[in-house]
Structure 1
Amino acid sequence: MRAGSSPAGPYALDVSPGRGPLDHAALRVLTLAPGGEHTFVAGRSEWIVLPLAGSCAVTVAGQTLARPLTFELRGRASVFAGVSDFAYAPPGSEVTVASRGGGRFALAGARLDADADAADDDAPAGPARPAFPARHRPAAGVPIELRGAGPCSRQVNNLAAADTFDAEKLIVVEVLTPGGNWSSYPPHKHDEHRPGHESRLEEIYYFEIAPAEGNPAAEGVGYQRVTPSGHGSGTEVLAEVRTGDVVLIPDGWHGPSIAAPGHHMYYLNVMAGPDPERRWLISDHPDHAWIRGSWERQAVDARLPLYDAPKG
């Protein structure tokens, strides 16, 4: 999906479950002018509000809260400038995002009742007592991981990974790939329920491409590959991606994600699925799984980390 191809109301991007190939994962990109604010109803979904550029205040209210809670998010200048804090809003709540200086904010969601009518997803209905409360996670609390080695080196900001942050279905991480490197490699999948081995998770990739130091005016690009796995709908994609573009992955082998030389690549991964356990379990493509063993003989790219989490 090209940037700007799926706007809806105040959102520059609106990927909603049940209105396309996804039934569980959701992503909206909200742009606010200085002094702007926007309110939405969580409905049957849980949400994370994550600054992409700028800062904001997030107020969460609802029948399950004794009083509204407001979280001040310091945010960041851009996704290439540092890791951000974020706020979590449970289903059934009402969420207001307000920004004094303006900015762009990702609203990453997971729909908990995929069998309900998609038109009802924004209704106030939600569980009488959500499993997890509204809360703030500071940037200093986000684990940063360096994954891979050599030309497959990348940085992972584990914002709301399954083993670092409690939620019902939602998994959210960021990946930063130095220019010229491959990430999301070896190709892998998570479209079968195989307890202890693989989980069913839809995935959204939202991309931003950094300007090149040698020519900041040049538009950067990256590439994303998805191939059928034999399960699900047979998704197949070979896409050139630019800032604001999105690739939707209901199933299939996904990877590599390729950053053009000179342009660091960022992508936000939003995952959710129907399995009873919230786990990120993957299967590597059997033709390419050997690449992991080669990392033991290679150093991690010296450009990483692009930044560290701030000290608490």
Structure 2
Amino acid sequence: MSELLVCAARSTQGQTPIVQVTPESAGWTYIGFEVYRLKAGEKVTVSTADKETAVIVLEGKCDVTVGQHQFPAVGSRDSVFSELPPEFVYCPPGQPVSFQASVAAEVAVATSVADEGVGEARHVRAEEIAFERRGEGSTTRMIHHLLDEHHPAKKLLLVEVVTPAGNWSSYPPHKHDEEIPSQESYLEETYYYRIDPPHGQALQRVYDKQDLNAVLTPSDGDVVLVPKGYHPVASPPGFTTYYLNVMAGHGRVWKYTIDEDYRHIAPKDGNIMGTVEHGAKR
């Protein structure tokens, strides 16, 4: 199942993305994703003709232009492993989008096919992004809710997760590949990985109860595709794992089904989320 792992061209810089996913390459309906690593002064222009888009400045700072809207100095941190959330610009479909690095920067462009957006282009700042500490013990991880179902958008859901060395996340294993009213929603999902130190790897299993059973070893800069099935992640001892999740589907609600084999370790109410706090803190 190597088609679920998209390996980065880690030496690539400038206008060529280090990693790229399209609905066509993934074999699904909605999500596109790419990452650019830019030197100061380098500029990228992307098309959003039929795509709701988020330009996420993972590291560094960029000036972002969406149609007639200009957003200078977007960015809040030097590393995805810092305690600060990122900043990003939300872009409805049909407007030209460009971003230019004012210092060295890493920028993710997350898209979903959509016939319309919600509202005008907007700059979402670090202090507007909620923080959650999820799990306990060896399942503890730190989460930033960039664009969840409570924030205005048509299709996109965005979250980033830092999993300490030796811990598990996306756990207990759960899936969201069927439309079951009030129980589960269909959401495609990508995982964009960064590893600290960068020579390491994470482990991710993507499986169902029929014919899918892939164990993947994403390295720094790689993307894992989750078109269906359960998808737990392990961060090996000695390495901290970061990932940015993009989700999109028929609707825009995150409902999931926990693998029954792990029900004994799940919260009794089935809700795997922790306490969400507003403000840029960890």
Name the TM-score class by shorter chain.
0.7 to 0.9
Give yes or no for the alignment of 1:247 onto 2:227: no
Unaligned runs of 5+ in 1: 62-66, 114-126, 212-217, 295-299
Deviation digits for residues 118-174 of structure 1, max 9, x if unmatched? xxxxxxxxx5xx4322101110110000111110111111001112x2110100100
Q: Normalized against structure 2, the TM-score is what?
A: 0.88
Q: State the secondary structure of the residue aligned to 1:18.
A: helix
Identity of aligned residues (%): 36
**Separation (CA, whole Å) in 1 of partners of 2:15 and 2:86:** 26
Q: Give the total of aligned pairs.
A: 266
Deviation digits for residues 231-258 of structure 1, max 9, x if unmatched? xxx5432011211011101111111x01
1:210 is matched by which residue type in structure 2? D
Give yes or no for the alignment of 1:171 onto 2:157: yes
**Separation (CA, whole Å) in 2 of partners of 1:265 and 1:251:** 22
Q: State the secondary structure of the residue aligned to 1:19.
A: helix
Which structure has the greater CA radius of gyration? 1
C-alpha contact 2:20 2:35 (8 A) present in aligned 1: yes
Deviation digits for residues 11-56 of structure 1, max 9, x if unmatched? 1111011233232111110121211111111111111111122111
RMSD of aligned Cα (Å): 2.3
- The structural deviation recorded for 1:70 is 2.5
Deviation digits for residues 190-249 of structure 1, max 9, x if unmatched? 0110111100000001111112xxxxxx7222100010245xxx5432011211011101
Instruction: Look up the match of 1:72.
Output: 73
Q: Normalized against structure 1, the TM-score is what?
A: 0.80
- The structural deviation recorded for 1:84 is 1.2
Give yes or no for the alignment of 1:135 onto 2:112: no
Are residues 229 and 134 of structure 1, via their aligned partners in 2, closer, same or farther at CA, if it must alter by over 3 Å?
Answer: farther
Q: State the secondary structure of the residue aligned to 1:186.
A: coil
Instruction: Look up the match of 2:253.
Output: 279
C-alpha contact 1:56 1:75 (8 A) present in aligned 2: no
Instruction: Look up the match of 1:85.
Output: 87
Instruction: Look up the match of 2:214.
Output: 237
Instruction: Look up the match of 1:104.
Output: 106
C-alpha contact 1:132 1:168 (8 A) present in aligned 2: no
Instruction: Look up the match of 1:193.
Output: 179
Instruction: Look up the match of 2:238.
Output: 262
1:244 is matched by which residue type in structure 2? G
Structure 1 residue aligned with 2:200, among 220, 228, 233? 220
Moved over 4 A (4+): none
Q: State the secondary structure of the residue aligned to 1:252.
A: coil
1:162 is matched by which residue type in structure 2? E
Structure 2 residue aligned with 1:292, among 236, 254, 266? 266
Q: State the secondary structure of the residue aligned to 1:10.
A: coil
C-alpha contact 1:50 1:87 (8 A) present in aligned 2: yes
C-alpha contact 1:229 1:251 (8 A) present in aligned 2: no
1:287 is matched by which residue type in structure 2? D
Q: State the secondary structure of the residue aligned to 2:25.
A: coil
Instruction: Look up the match of 2:3.
Output: none
- The structural deviation recorded for 1:72 is 2.9
**Separation (CA, whole Å) in 2 of partners of 1:79 and 1:244:** 12
**Separation (CA, whole Å) in 1 of partners of 2:184 and 2:281:** 33
